[in-house]
Amino acid sequence: MNQLKNVSSIPQDLKQEYPFASHFLSIKNEQYHYIDEGQGEVILMLHGNPTWSFFYRNLTKHFSKNFRVIVPDHIGCGLSSKPQDYNYTLQTHIDNLCHLVEKEKLTNITLVVHDWGGAIGMGLATKYPQLIKKMVVMNTAAFRSLEIPTRINILKNPVGQWFIRKFNGFAYPATFMASKKGLSPIVKKGFIFPYHDYESRIATAKFVDDIPLNDQHPTYKTLKRIEEKLPEIKAPVLLLWGEKDFCFTMNFQKRWLDIFPNAHSITYPNAGHYLIEDETSAVISEIETFLKDS
């Protein structure tokens, strides 16, 4: 299977950054890849577009010493299957995540979300609020918004979709646009590694296409339903935000505070969209304190 070939072909220098064993869950004949490190209470981390579980490598290394850390790759991303004829919608990604949670019988979950991981994770949290113990929310949204950067909006049309897949026109630009402090060559290599040709970039294009900007979009109702149920989630929230994010601006951060006014909120003036890359130690420290709080 291609995904197994990808695992075995990870270069040695990337294995030093990403030294995790791979697990696969078969969902409707597709292979859903995830890492499952450590033991104890569960931390479930969800990536967005155009990242993969590599995004959480430093958090996984740190927290797996005392927790069970699970980080899936959404179908089409990372080391998961990349089917070319697939329903790449928010609801499908939520269903896949719920399948993993149900299969592993996960409870008392600390949910960590970023980018599209926010909408996917909140799809889980609004369906199974009793399973969520705490939530860490970083530069993401799980509610409707018409605020979208022009550089992303222009990629929603067929030409933009072709550009993403032909020239890696989403994952590659993100390696220098999403971090304000810059990424090392090996980290850049890690981010774009799974997206090496036209076929493997299918989900990076489909995630852009799935951004709902009107009520005729197939994902609009899914997102609306999640948004309406968010206030029902009673788990404590830690809100961490890179202030220099060109996509999820401070307006999104303020919207989260409207929904969860009791959230513990910290912003980072010199961090961009890839907050964990720009403020690795600070983010780990804040999450560690949050996990220790009763």
pLDDT tens figures, 131-149 = 999 999 999 999 999 888 8
Least confident residue range of 28-32, 77-81, 155-159, 251-255: 155-159
Q: What is the mean pLDDT of the chain?
A: 95
Residue 75 to residue 78: CA distance in whole angstroms: 8
Which strands make up the sheet holding 237-242, listed edge to edge? 23-27, 30-37, 68-72, 42-46, 109-115, 132-140, 237-242, 264-268
Q: Is the peptide bond before 269 cis (omega within 30 degrees of 0)?
A: no
SS3 state at 134: strand
Q: Is 70 exceeded by the pLDDT of residue 4? A: no
* pTM given for the model: 0.95
Give the CA distances from residue 262 to residues 227, 231, 238, 256, 257, in Å, rounded to whole numbers and listed in that order: 17, 11, 9, 10, 8
- Find the domain containing 22 and state its range: 2-292
pLDDT of the residue at 91: 98
Q: Is 70 exceeded by the pLDDT of residue 11? A: yes
Closest CA to 190 of 58, 34, 51: 51
Number of domains in the chain: 1
CATH of the domain at 205: 3.40.50.1820
pLDDT of the residue at 239: 98
Partner residues linked to 24 by β-bridges:
33
Query: Mean pLDDT across the stretch 191-202?
Result: 97
For 213, counting Cβ atoms within 10 Å of its Cβ (0-12 exposed, 13-18 middle, 19+ buried), the class is middle
Q: Give helix then strand counts, H and E, for the chain.
A: 14, 8
Query: Mean pLDDT across the stretch 14-25?
Result: 95
Residue 17 · residue 190 · CB < 8 Å: yes
